[in-house]
Amino acid sequence: MDLNLKDKVALVTGGGRGVGRGVCRRLAEEGARVIVNDFHEERAVRVADEIRKSGGQALPVRADITDGQQVRSMVTRAVETYGPVDILVNNAGIPTRAPGEEAKGGWEEFHASDPSSWKKVIDLNVYGTMNCTHAVLGAMVERRSGKIVSVMSEAGRVGEAKLAAYSGAKAAILGFSKAVAREVGKHRINVNVVALGAVDSKELTFGELDEAAQGRLNQLFKAYPMGRGLERLSRASDVADAIAFLSSDRAEYITGQVLGVSGGFAMP
């Protein structure tokens, strides 16, 4: 299916690794000109180089998306280089740790948490998404065209014990996106969300894992019906394909929706 993304300008936050990298590469494969944002400049440069070596167009931009001024400067640079932003993918977010990593500070009961630990999670997930959306939306309204896709976690839809601040921040992305979708539908701008479960960054096959790792994965599969069937967790490519579709005019009558790319983890 041709998604007709050739020469569209796409800004992807947190594009320097993992899901963000997959999204950047997928959009570039479709012909989009990609602004690869990351807090760590070397990551953004590496992904942009990968895209260019494959024949695509990419601009790496280091910016802290919790800083509104840095976001506005990033968008200005994008416009000066490629033109107005047609597609915004709000991907950047603080990843959570697996339950077995509690000793490293990953999960904790809310009543025992330190309020100072909430701020970084909320700033990046909530204010980062709002800053980037605010920076591109005015021009989209003027042009009566645009696609915004934000990435949340299924924890924001169903709640996750010991991840209260994280779940709340991710839920805020959904509420915010639905509200904006209602505002800007009249301007032919689509605003949607994809919800993720566990993502396998190493993308190993089940057979490549040792017996202990297979056992841990089998326990996880109890929550992922498709994971059990495919013998794997989701991959960056799964998410990238969904975002590419929602970024295209093939999805022009879809707005204010959340698409779970999580193997059936949540079925609301």
Whether residue 243 sits in one domain with residue 169: yes
Share of the chain above pLDDT 90, in %: 78
User: What span, in angstroms and rounded, lies between the C-alpha atoms of 241 and 219?
Assistant: 27
Share of the chain above pLDDT 70, in %: 95
Whether residue 141 sits in one domain with residue 116: yes
Domains held by the chain: number: 2
What pLDDT sits at residue 103? 37
30-57 pLDDT, tens digit each? 999 999 999 999 999 999 999 999 999 9
What pLDDT sits at residue 2? 85
In a domain, 266, yes or no: no
What pLDDT sits at residue 153? 96
Tell the residue number behind the tokens 């570039």, with chain if given.
28
Phi, psi of 264 (to 5 degrees): 85, 15
Which residue range(s) make up the domain with 157? 9-199+236-261
Q: Which of 89-98, 196-205, 216-225, 235-244 has the lowest mean pLDDT?
A: 89-98
**121: number of Cβ within 10 Å:** 20
Is residue 3 within 8 A of residue 244, CB to CB? The reply is yes
| Number of DSSP helices (H) and strands (E) in the chain, helices first | 10, 7
202-227 pLDDT, tens digit each? 777 777 777 787 788 788 888 899 88
Whether residue 194 sits in one domain with residue 243: yes
Is residue 177 within 8 A of residue 150, CB to CB? The reply is yes
DSSP assignment letter at 230: H
Q: What is the residue-averaged pLDDT of the chain?
A: 92
Active site members:
166
User: What span, in angstroms and rounded, lies between the C-alpha atoms of 39 and 34?
Assistant: 16
Whether residue 218 sits in one domain with residue 158: no
Q: How confident is the model at residue 100 (pLDDT cuts 50, 70, 90)?
A: very low
Whether residue 247 sits in one domain with residue 229: no
Task: Write the DSSP string, 5-48.
Answer: -TT-EEEETTTTSHHHHHHHHHHHHTT-EEEEEESSHHHHHHHH
**Averaged pLDDT for residues 216-241:** 89
What pLDDT sits at residue 221? 87
Q: Taking the model in full, what pTM does it have?
A: 0.93
Decide: residue 227, CB within 10 A, 0-12 exposed, 13-18 middle, 19+ buried.
Answer: buried
**56: number of Cβ within 10 Å:** 19
- Whether 99 shows a pLDDT value over 80: the answer reads no
